């Protein structure tokens, strides 16, 4: 067990002690974010980012009710940009409040943090420690996992395939806790000897300008900012809605990596530059339009989407047609079930490249079925890097999907469908050929939380289909009414 995993285990065990005090897993991680930020600035000798009198030593020097009262004031003041001049500090502590009610609970946390082996943790990487805590949260509460955490094996596989490069602008318009941006940064650092092979100017760009994006949920953005900072990424992630007018300000990117929300939200898209999904409810379809518009000519993207993006009629069909015209949609990965139950739908990854013209960019789509005849994924069978080995080999070494590929036929997992065949399917991209044994696979689930998550997933998927049908009927009714009024 590494020093980092030992510390993660110790910190996670504290959450059990605080559950009786009414602190949830999510609340506990948020609480730790505040305290770890203070402690890590002390450990890394960067306390100048904090105003004097608001540092770790000031907090731990107090006890009892005095400490808890000081902590509450500290959270309030550090979120005030007039007191905390450092923009990252004020962003992390904006609207911060503690869920702790007892002075003894705060003292337990501060004492435990003080006693940890920080020397070894720094050697392993403080960012890895924090990421470990985030992963613990989601693994403990699977039904919440998809809200802000994409499985790391999936992220790492995608990043290995698209090969982010130094100097590229990399964007995630729905950052969550920053998993894609951090993985891209990690990949680039592995190829550049931790940026030492780059010039000073290039290294500064990588740390401060290469990565960007947005996260609209305040608590999740807080976790994202902390995560980026601990991984040495100074780039900012905005607290904006990418599907509002603010989303245009994200600018153009060389690479977009994202796992946007799967569910439709009550509010509608309000982007003046949108034409395909304008006035659509906020959800996966408008996010795909954002990604396409955010790509520079020749730039590439990998986007996690639910199944209905592949087959939805109406706006969905128009979006797919537009996507295949504007971009080379070269690869679709059908993901296994059991890794995104929170959203209640089956998922895929779309790999595409923005064309240098706006017409006829997709000549053929390769589909890899990693869903049929797969294990039931859950607590007892987690997703791991080996699960993507076959797909990565079939995808090839070209990040634009241009490597030589082999159609494996009806018995294989990787097949090619030319544009004519897709047009004959009315541009429906929900393409299957292997026998789907999903039901049999789910019978193998044994953990109660996995079984419950599967049930919730199917119920949410059914509800999403009903909502989609209802919306289609409403559109038809409005169209008929307009036609009759015109006559």
The model's pLDDT over 418-470, given as tens digits with 9 standing for 90+, comes to 999 999 999 999 999 998 755 555 555 555 555 555 555 555 555 555 665 55
Q: Which structural domain, as residue segments, surrounds residue 178?
A: 141-453
Residue 349 maps to a domain:
yes
247 and 332 housed in the same domain: yes
Cα 17 from Cα 21, distance rounded (Å): 8
389 and 417 housed in the same domain: yes
The pLDDT tens digits for 31-90 are 888 999 999 899 889 999 999 999 999 999 999 999 999 999 999 999 999 999 999 999
CATH number at 156 reads 3.40.50.150
Number of structural domains (the chain) is 2
203 and 107 housed in the same domain: no
Cα 237 from Cα 224, distance rounded (Å): 8
Cα 359 from Cα 323, distance rounded (Å): 10
pLDDT at 343: 40
123 and 165 housed in the same domain: no
338 and 412 housed in the same domain: yes
321 and 211 housed in the same domain: yes
The pLDDT tens digits for 85-106 are 999 999 999 999 998 989 999 9
234 and 317 housed in the same domain: yes
Residue 483 maps to a domain:
no
Q: Which long-range contacts (CB under 8 A, 24 or more apart) does 192-199 make?
A: 192/166, 195/166, 198/166
128 and 198 housed in the same domain: no
Cα 294 from Cα 254, distance rounded (Å): 9
Of 425, 426, 406, nearest in space to 416 by CA = 406
Given a cut of 90, whether residue 133 has pLDDT beyond it is no
Given a cut of 50, whether residue 147 has pLDDT beyond it is no
Pick the last residue of a domain from 83, 103, 134: 134
Residue 478 maps to a domain:
no
Of 110, 156, 113, 119, nearest in space to 135 by CA = 156
Residue 347 maps to a domain:
yes
Pick the last residue of a domain from 105, 134, 163: 134
Report DSSP letters for 51-95, one per residue: PTT-SHHHHHT--HHHHHHHHHHHHHHHT-TTT--SHHHHHHTTT
189 and 148 housed in the same domain: yes
pLDDT at 21: 67
20 and 95 housed in the same domain: yes
Nearby residues of 103 by Cβ (< 8 Å), 6 or more positions away: 63, 64, 65, 67, 68
**What is the pTM for the complete model shown?**
0.86
CATH number at 123 reads 1.20.1260.30
């Amino acid at each position: 067990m590494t020093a980092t995993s030992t510390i993660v285990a110790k910190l996670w065990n504290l959450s059990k002690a605080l559950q009786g005090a009414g602190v949830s897993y999510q609340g506990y991680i948020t609480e730790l974010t505040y305290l770890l930020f203070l402690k890590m600035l002390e450990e890394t000798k960067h306390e100048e980012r904090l105003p004097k009198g608001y540092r770790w030593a000031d907090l731990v020097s107090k006890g009892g009710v005095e400490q808890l009262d000081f902590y509450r004031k500290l959270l309030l003041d550090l979120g005030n940009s007039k007191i905390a001049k450092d923009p990252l500090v004020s962003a992390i502590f904006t609207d911060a409040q503690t869920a702790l009610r007892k002075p003894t609970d705060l003292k337990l946390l501060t004492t435990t943090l003080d006693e940890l082996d920080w020397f070894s943790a720094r050697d392993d990487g403080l960012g890895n420690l924090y990421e470990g805590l985030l992963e613990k949260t989601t693994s403990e509460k699977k039904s919440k996992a998809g809200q802000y955490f994409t499985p790391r094996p999936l992220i790492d596989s995608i990043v290995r395939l698209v090969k982010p490069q130094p100097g590229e602008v990399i964007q995630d318009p729905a950052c969550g806790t920053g998993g894609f941006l951090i993985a891209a940064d990690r990949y680039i650092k592995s190829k550049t000897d931790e940026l030492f092979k780059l010039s000073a100017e290039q290294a500064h760009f990588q740390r401060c300008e290469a990565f960007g994006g947005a996260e609209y949920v305040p608590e999740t953005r807080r976790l994202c900012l902390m995560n980026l900072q601990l991984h040495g990424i100074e780039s900012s992630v905005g607290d904006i809605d990418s599907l509002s007018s603010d989303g245009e300000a994200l600018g153009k990117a060389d690479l977009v990596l994202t796992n946007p929300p799967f569910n439709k939200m009550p509010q509608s898209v309000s982007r003046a530059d949108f034409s395909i999904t304008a006035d659509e409810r906020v959800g996966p379809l408008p996010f795909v339009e954002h990604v396409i518009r955010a790509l520079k000519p020749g730039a590439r993207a990998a986007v996690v989407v639910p199944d209905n993006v592949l087959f939805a009629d109406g706006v969905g069909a128009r979006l797919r047609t537009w996507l295949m015209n504007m971009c080379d949609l070269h690869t679709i990965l059908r993901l296994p079930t059991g890794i995104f139950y929170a959203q209640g739908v089956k998922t895929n990854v779309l790999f595409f490249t923005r064309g240098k013209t706006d017409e006829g960019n997709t000549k053929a789509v390769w589909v890899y079925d990693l869903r049929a005849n797969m294990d039931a994924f859950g607590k007892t069978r987690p997703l791991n890097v080996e699960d993507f080995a076959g797909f990565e080999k079939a995808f090839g070494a070209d990040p634009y999907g241009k490597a030589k590929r082999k159609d494996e036929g009806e018995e294989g997992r990787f097949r090619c469908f030319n544009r004519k065949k897709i047009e004959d399917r009315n541009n429906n991209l929900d393409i299957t050929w292997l026998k789907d044994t999903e039901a049999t696979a789910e019978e193998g689930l044994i953990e109660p939380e996995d079984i419950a998550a599967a049930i919730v997933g199917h119920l949410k998927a059914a509800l999403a289909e009903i909502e989609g049908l209802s919306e289609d009927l409403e559109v038809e009714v409005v169209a008929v009414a307009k036609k009759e009024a015109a006559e």
